[in-house]
């Protein structure tokens, strides 16, 4: 793409997917801290609720020790040491960065928001969920929290323009699609409705560069170093050299 399309946010937020997942064990305090040191400007994780009501950060919600149990069937004190609580994240790692959280268990939303509020961080919380009706229900419950519709183009029966209008009417802040579904035309469409455009699973420099060229507002990647490198090329005016060097398919 020869000409970069303007984003609503520039530079884009660089979300470290499950922390610096390519460089450290995912969803651990070590991984989150390393992501920040590497230059991530946002952190991504997944939240679950333990049996005793503690918000913990883990991808699939299973606890494996002698037996495989759902995190909801385990007390926080009995968890393996690598599974952090959200309180620990805010106390030991948080550097004022946006925190993007996938919510797969609806019961975690209220405790998630309450925990963030205790740390004066609710305004930096970006809660992602695929169901638009659920996001609508959460909007008035937590007006200071940012809400993100994680979806796929094939799951939009009336098309992206209809969804953009629905998100704007419901005061949902952003839409999140897999990197390959984005184009400059699509970001322009959502931006026309003042909806931010997020892209996940961008693991290669060419993908990240194409997304930034397309006007994306946030990128999710396992490779914090690659996101930072490409963003620096844009900042330093070196992106044309990168385009000429690596103009193959992405």
pLDDT by residue (tens digit) across 40-79?
999 999 999 999 999 999 998 777 654 567 888 889 998 8
Q: Which CATH class is domain 13-42+96-245?
A: alpha beta
The pLDDT-based confidence of 250 (bands split at 50, 70, 90) is very low
Q: Measured between alpha carbons, how far is 232 from 53 in angstroms, rounded to an integer?
A: 41
Q: Please report, for the chain, the start and end positions of each structural domain, with discontinuous segments joined by +.
A: 13-42+96-245
- Examine the pLDDT at 93 and tell me if it is beyond 90: yes
Query: Which residue did the predictor score with more confidence, 130 or 80?
Result: 130
3-state secondary structure 96-165: CCCEEEEECCHHHHHHHHHHHHHCCCHHHEEEEECCHHHHHHHHHHCCCCEEEEECCHHHCCCHHHHHHH
């Amino acid at each position: 793409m020869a000409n970069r399309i303007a984003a609503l946010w520039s530079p884009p937020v660089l979300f470290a997917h499950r922390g610096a997942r390519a460089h450290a064990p995912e969803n651990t305090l070590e991984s989150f801290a390393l992501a920040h040191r590497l230059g991530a400007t946002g952190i991504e994780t997944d939240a679950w609720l333990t049996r005793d009501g503690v918000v913990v950060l883990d991808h699939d919600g299973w606890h494996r020790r002698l037996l495989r149990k759902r995190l909801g069937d385990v007390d926080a004190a009995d968890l393996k040491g690598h599974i952090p609580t959200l309180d620990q994240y805010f106390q030991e790692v948080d550097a004022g960065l946006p925190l993007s959280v996938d919510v797969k268990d609806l019961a975690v939303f209220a405790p998630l928001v309450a925990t963030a509020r205790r740390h004066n961080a609710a305004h930096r919380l970006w809660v992602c969920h695929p169901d638009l009706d659920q996001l609508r229900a959460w909007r008035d419950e937590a007006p200071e929290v940012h809400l993100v519709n994680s979806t796929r183009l094939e799951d939009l029966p009336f098309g992206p323009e209809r969804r953009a209008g629905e998100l704007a009417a419901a005061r949902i802040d952003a839409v999140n699609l897999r990197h390959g579904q984005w184009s400059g035309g699509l970001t322009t469409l959502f931006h026309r409705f003042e909806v931010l455009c997020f892209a996940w699973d961008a693991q290669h420099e060419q993908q990240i560069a194409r997304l930034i060229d397309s006007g994306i507002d946030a990128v999710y990647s396992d490779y914090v170093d690659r996101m930072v490198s490409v963003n620096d090329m844009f900042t330093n005016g070196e992106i044309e050299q990168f385009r000429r060097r690596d103009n193959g398919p992405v």
